[in-house]
Structure 1
Amino acid sequence: MRPPRSPEPEGSTPASTPSVTAHPREVPVSQTSRSPIPPVDAAAPVPARPSVAPTHRQILTILGGLMIGMFLGALDQTIVATSIRTIGDDLNGLSLQAWVTTAYLMTSTIATPLYGKLSDIYGRKPFYLGAIALFVFGSVLSGTASSMYQLAAFRGIQGLGAGGLMSLAFTILGDLVPPRERARYQGMFLAVFGTSSVLGPVVGGFFAGADSIFGITGWRWVFLINVPIGLIGLLVIWRVLHLPPITRVDHRIDWPGALALVVGLVPLLLIAEQGREWGWGSGRALLCYAIGLVGIGLFLLAEVVARDDALLPLHLFRNRTFAVSSGANVVIGLGMFGGLATLPLYLQIVKGMTPTAAGLTLIPFTVGIMSGSILTGQLTARTGRYKIFPVIGTVLMGIGALLFSRLSVDTPLLVIFADSLVFGLGLGFTMQPLVLAVQNAVHVKDMGVATASALFFRQVGGTLGTAVFLSILFSTVGGNIASAFARLAPTAGFQAALADPAVRADPANAPVLAMIGGHGGVGTVPSINDSSFINALDPRLARPFLDGFAQSIDLVLLIAAAIMVLGFVLTVLLPELPLRNVSGIQGRIDNEAEAAAKAV
């Protein structure tokens, strides 16, 4: 029996666009899944629109192209982070490495809502192709950079493309598949995200460690590897993705809003990345705060003036599902990315692992994400229920962060594996249903901007979390190391190391010996801006450094666990609406047909 049509999304308004003839090569939607059109006057019948559902094979082919684009964006962040030290050394600009990250982060964050809104107006396919092309172009330029300043500029171009890779992929899936069936396919997207978190450090470590590959410096392949992958994605999307054209109506592009968003976000993202180095209360920081607040105020004013043409229509926040999900995405992004930013540091500094080994150690984390996302997708498709999953997911993430907060120098790898599995499972339960809830709650004409906004708020939360948590980590680690030295220095093992002639003769131990001094007391802790010296120390002398880092990382993860309590509260408040039984395309066609019928 065909399920009844779901009610209109909360806060939505009827579509008022004229009818449109579908593209002859469109990917149509199932006749059995489309909602019935209300009866109209018999003298003015609405012609039926024949539609045939895309097969599972067709959907998988399209998803293959979308996932290639997503893989590019997700892999790029982890692969570059692993290689940046080698790149900075080769380009004689290690001190400028933060700008390479900041440039990418700024442009990708700002571009995300732009892609969502413009795709709602002009269509998805050209912007997705454009996003991949921009990303590939930026990758080619980055692979040829001859200075860190050039690399930062070219990474900014990459970020302009990356802003559309993930948001448009989720939006296009929403166009093709009804929400209830969409959940099972979205799990594949999250599998890409999890896989890239493991492959990134492995591949990045391999390229960074190679002197040259095919006559090209090894680290340059960190960027050039994107070129063939991106070209394959371009070809697949161009050949198999055929969506009906968007009905052309008069729209005013919200340029004032876009400009104000740039003015508001750039200084705030800049201080989030540079605040630890500049000082959170420095003159430059205060200037960034002031400009950012003014920019955000101007952005809100521009959105009020633009109304439905706004880059981020404010009427969406009257939709309770959208408003609660936005808050939940910020909090979950803050806890997720903030917590994850510290785990590689623990594995590489405290456990002494290489970036490649650290990436492989996080495989259980990926298994958790994939398992959680696949399970939630299957259960949502069968039951039509989705709210329970982010509730359970935030609980699991909180438990996982709490377990991580007990890490020490001597924690066995099996315990790290188990903790990673729990945290990853929570992520798998949480990320997909929140996007699905937003897509299901808003009007189909706003699906692009709503999807992009969900990912935008998560990315903003992640940026804030990374900045705050790393600031907490590095502001407390010096004191924790000093306390560890005061506790361990009197022990027999530490004193034996100080008396060992071989230890004193090894230049690698000089920083600690200078700190201890001849009297055995504890002086100023050496700078930890470059922690590589720790791994070269005698293990007995290195122990206080490792203990200090472990304690600071534990504090950060304990705060992440506390933040997830707020995430749990927000997901409990999330409304659960019946999942619509029509795809985004069919919903738009139905709305246009209804509008045409009323106009007769």
Structure 2
Amino acid sequence: MTHRQVMEALSGLLLAMFVAMLSSTVVTNALPRIVSDLHGSQTGYTWVVVATLLTMTATTPLWGKLADLFDKKLLVQLALVIYVVGSVVASLSSSMGMLIAARAIQGLGIGGLSALVQIVIAAMVSPRERGRYSGYLGAVFAAATVSGPLIGGVVVDSALGWRGVFFIGLPFAALALVLLQKTLHLPTVKREVRIDYLGSTLIVAGISVVLVWVSLAGSQFAWASVTTGVLVAAGVVLLAAAVLVEIKVAHEPIIPMQLFRDRTVALATTASVFVGVSLFAGTVYLSQYFQTARAMTPTEAGLMSICMVGGLSLSSLVTGRVITATGRWKRWLVGGAALLTVALVLLGTIDESTSLVEVGSFMALLGIGVGATMQNLVLAVQNSVPLAQLGAASSVVAFFRSIGGSVGVSVMGALLATQVSTKVNEGLTQLGVDPGQTHESHSIPDLASLPAPVRSVFEQAFGESFGHIFMLAAPFALLALLCVSFIEEVPLRTSNTELTAMERQVADASPEATAELVETTLVGAAGRAETDRP
């Protein structure tokens, strides 16, 4: 494909990716208002995010496998339709349960879009050129992350209210469907289809049980309790069974375990888990920090997010261009992971009184680190696997990044709920106020409606607690740095065409050696045919 043809096909793909990213960022600034209106708790706040991450995580490998078996364009369009259905249901939600279910439906579509867009780009463009187009993908990610909080904040503060937030992505989804139909034309390879239903079911069940445990422990039951033991044991058994099925039973495994024999794939997917923790910690909880600890409106919180997204946008574009020009990618992974670690340590020092200039600087560093690592981890894996496994390998990286995000959001949400509840109860008791008369345990009240002394207690509790959860995320970024440091840098392929072992020998051999190789191969084939004759 020429550059023009690639860019035409990318128009619909990038718009589809914009829809997927927008659906997450546009809701973050609305969540405090949504949870307050629907009388939800901090656990409910967490699960509005986790429900989307869970279904996105669990289905990403399935979408990747389907991409190796079916028409990729049709799959992208199907993912868009599922997203639209989830958005409409979310806008009509009358309870936290209904909203969480709608967000789970949205996650199905988002999982397809986030996996399939990168798979289609990989099918069109060689690894060496892919850094250039990954830069465009990073720019779209940044644009959605910048515009989402701003648009979401403005809509929430308008007459449309928070329900209008879920309609924002619908026009973009409709336009993406039309553009994909007109511009994306990829060959479809037909072969026998065997979907690993058992493996995918066990993966979904195992991850769900683990997330239920980490999100509810500390509020609904104690960390050290019989319920914890049952949930942990069930999660371990289900995930172990899933691994066994993928290795021994499945003909077309959702997660091909042989991929992890490759050192680059194993280290990059492990690093993506830890990067996921950092990414979602920043996008989910910084918005809540500004609204609960700094008394900002959703619009003002959206403006603050520009700091992080500006760094992410610049980092994605620059690293993509430089990698395409030089073919060197490891140094950017190492540098990005190092910045992630430093940024999270610095964010771990914030509270309700920290200078906004300092907070914005820390957010910019976090964005630069995410931009340099997230897309380039996918690129490193795609460069290390055969073309036939491109879809599965790409989705595996996204899958493990989403696992990191899901578990990270759940753990940090549970820690935040426990710490805030404890600090608020202590603060209100010192004021001589009965905590039970002002709020329910682990609930998120409308701070604007509270008396000034009580509101100050909540703001201080939230401010101190957010610093603790960012500090908790810092060791995970350090582990990501260790993983990418041990990845062996392999020069990026300049073509998607794969050579067989014989073709590589022929390409490298002299004319005389080539003739001898061909003659040896033909004689060997004739001998085998004679031996096999009845």
**Displacement after TM superposition at 1:321 (Å):** 0.6
In the superposition, the TM-score normalised over structure 2's length comes to 0.85
Query: Pick from 9, 15, 22: which aligns with 1:75?
Result: 22
Where do residues 171-250 of structure 1 align in structure 2 (5 Å cutoff)? 171-212=119-160, 218-246=161-189, 248-250=190-192
Change in Cα spacing, 1:100 to 1:563, as seen in structure 2 (3 Å) is closer
Q: Partner of 1:118 in structure 2?
A: 66
**Displacement after TM superposition at 1:204 (Å):** 2.5
Query: Pick from 581, 584, 587: which aligns with 2:494?
Result: 581
Q: Which moved more, 1:537-546 or 1:249-258?
A: 537-546
Q: Which moved more, 1:95-104 or 1:546-555?
A: 95-104
CA distance, structure 1, for counterparts of residue 35 and residue 445 of structure 2: 15
Query: Pick from 207, 220, 230: which aligns with 1:287?
Result: 230
Name the amino acid aligned to 1:517.
Answer: G
Query: Pick from 446, 449, 472: which aligns with 1:559?
Result: 472
**Displacement after TM superposition at 1:140 (Å):** 2.9
**Displacement after TM superposition at 1:308 (Å):** 5.9
Q: Partner of 2:13 in structure 1?
A: 66
Per the alignment, in what secondary structure is the counterpart of residue 351 of structure 2?
A: coil
Q: Partner of 1:270 in structure 2?
A: 212
Q: Partner of 1:27 in structure 2?
A: none
**Displacement after TM superposition at 1:349 (Å):** 2.1
Q: Partner of 2:386 in structure 1?
A: 443
Q: Partner of 2:462 in structure 1?
A: 549
CA distance, structure 2, for counterparts of residue 84 and residue 342 of structure 1: 10
Change in Cα spacing, 1:209 to 1:364, as seen in structure 2 (3 Å) is closer
**Displacement after TM superposition at 1:442 (Å):** 0.7
**Displacement after TM superposition at 1:61 (Å):** 2.3
**Displacement after TM superposition at 1:222 (Å):** 2.2
Q: Which moved more, 1:276-285 or 1:373-382?
A: 276-285
Cα pair 1:372 1:429 within 8 Å, conserved: yes
Q: Which moved more, 1:470-479 or 1:431-440?
A: 470-479
CA distance, structure 2, for counterparts of residue 522 and residue 117 of structure 1: 52
Cα pair 1:135 1:160 within 8 Å, conserved: yes
Deviations 1:32-61 (A, max 9, x none): xxxxxxxxxxxxxxxxxxxxx322x32222
CA distance, structure 1, for counterparts of residue 312 and residue 2 of structure 2: 28
**Displacement after TM superposition at 1:459 (Å):** 0.7
Change in Cα spacing, 1:411 to 1:89, as seen in structure 2 (3 Å) is closer
Change in Cα spacing, 1:133 to 1:252, as seen in structure 2 (3 Å) is same
Deviations 1:471-497 (A, max 9, x none): 3333334555678x6xxxxxxxxxxxx
Structure 1 stretches lacking a partner, 5+ long: 1-52, 213-217, 486-511
Name the amino acid aligned to 1:327.
Answer: T
Where do residues 13-92 of structure 1 align in structure 2 (5 Å cutoff)? 53-55=1-3, 57-84=4-31, 86-87=33-34
Q: Partner of 1:136 in structure 2?
A: 84
In the superposition, the TM-score normalised over structure 1's length comes to 0.76
Cα pair 1:102 1:270 within 8 Å, conserved: no
Cα pair 1:478 1:525 within 8 Å, conserved: no
Does the alignment pair 1:516 with 2:431? yes
Does the alignment pair 1:302 with 2:245? yes
CA distance, structure 1, for counterparts of residue 19 and residue 338 of structure 2: 30
Does the alignment pair 1:398 with 2:341? yes
**Displacement after TM superposition at 1:177 (Å):** 0.9
Change in Cα spacing, 1:417 to 1:264, as seen in structure 2 (3 Å) is same
Where do residues 250-399 of structure 1 align in structure 2 (5 Å cutoff)? 250-279=192-221, 280-306=223-249, 309-399=252-342
CA distance, structure 2, for counterparts of residue 482 and residue 150 of structure 1: 30
Q: Which moved more, 1:123-132 or 1:234-243?
A: 123-132
**Displacement after TM superposition at 1:118 (Å):** 1.1
Change in Cα spacing, 1:260 to 1:594, as seen in structure 2 (3 Å) is farther
Deviations 1:302-360 (A, max 9, x none): 11124662111110010111100111011121233235443223212222111221111
Per the alignment, in what secondary structure is the counterpart of residue 121 of structure 1?
A: coil
**Displacement after TM superposition at 1:173 (Å):** 0.8
CA distance, structure 1, for counterparts of residue 279 and residue 93 of structure 2: 32
**Displacement after TM superposition at 1:97 (Å):** 6.0
CA distance, structure 1, for counterparts of residue 410 and residue 386 of structure 2: 35
Name the amino acid aligned to 1:294.
Answer: V
Aligned CA-pair RMSD: 3.2
Cα pair 1:334 1:461 within 8 Å, conserved: yes
Cα pair 2:381 2:393 within 8 Å, conserved: yes
CA distance, structure 2, for counterparts of residue 87 and residue 189 of structure 1: 30
**Displacement after TM superposition at 1:194 (Å):** 2.6
Deviations 1:81-115 (A, max 9, x none): 43345556666777966655444333222111100
Cα pair 1:307 1:314 within 8 Å, conserved: no
**Displacement after TM superposition at 1:362 (Å):** 1.5
CA distance, structure 2, for counterparts of residue 528 and residue 522 of structure 1: 8
Cα pair 2:153 2:302 within 8 Å, conserved: no
CA distance, structure 1, for counterparts of residue 354 and residue 163 of structure 2: 36
CA distance, structure 2, for counterparts of residue 109 and residue 336 of structure 1: 15
Aligned residues: 506
Cα pair 2:199 2:246 within 8 Å, conserved: yes
Deviations 1:390-425 (A, max 9, x none): 100011111111222222333222222221111111
**Displacement after TM superposition at 1:137 (Å):** 2.6
Name the amino acid aligned to 1:68.
Answer: L
Q: Which moved more, 1:423-432 or 1:408-417?
A: 408-417
Cα pair 2:36 2:444 within 8 Å, conserved: no
Name the amino acid aligned to 2:488.
Answer: P
Query: Pick from 485, 499, 503: which aligns with 1:572?
Result: 485
Cα pair 1:263 1:291 within 8 Å, conserved: no
Q: Which moved more, 1:174-183 or 1:544-553?
A: 544-553
Change in Cα spacing, 1:556 to 1:75, as seen in structure 2 (3 Å) is same
CA distance, structure 1, for counterparts of residue 451 and residue 95 of structure 2: 36
CA distance, structure 2, for counterparts of residue 517 and residue 274 of structure 1: 30
CA distance, structure 1, for counterparts of residue 456 and residue 81 of structure 2: 49
Cα pair 1:197 1:359 within 8 Å, conserved: no
Change in Cα spacing, 1:533 to 1:106, as seen in structure 2 (3 Å) is closer
Cα pair 2:54 2:406 within 8 Å, conserved: no
Cα pair 2:308 2:363 within 8 Å, conserved: yes
CA distance, structure 1, for counterparts of residue 96 and residue 463 of structure 2: 32
Per the alignment, in what secondary structure is the counterpart of residue 175 of structure 1?
A: helix
**Displacement after TM superposition at 1:267 (Å):** 1.7
Cα pair 2:315 2:368 within 8 Å, conserved: yes
Cα pair 2:65 2:254 within 8 Å, conserved: yes
Cα pair 2:29 2:288 within 8 Å, conserved: no
**Larger Cα Rg: Structure 1 or Structure 2?**
1
Cα pair 1:394 1:430 within 8 Å, conserved: yes
Per the alignment, in what secondary structure is the counterpart of residue 128 of structure 1?
A: helix
Change in Cα spacing, 1:573 to 1:593, as seen in structure 2 (3 Å) is closer
CA distance, structure 2, for counterparts of residue 140 and residue 341 of structure 1: 22
Per the alignment, in what secondary structure is the counterpart of residue 217 of structure 2?
A: helix
Name the amino acid aligned to 2:364.
Answer: L
Q: Partner of 1:429 in structure 2?
A: 372
CA distance, structure 2, for counterparts of residue 83 and residue 259 of structure 1: 32
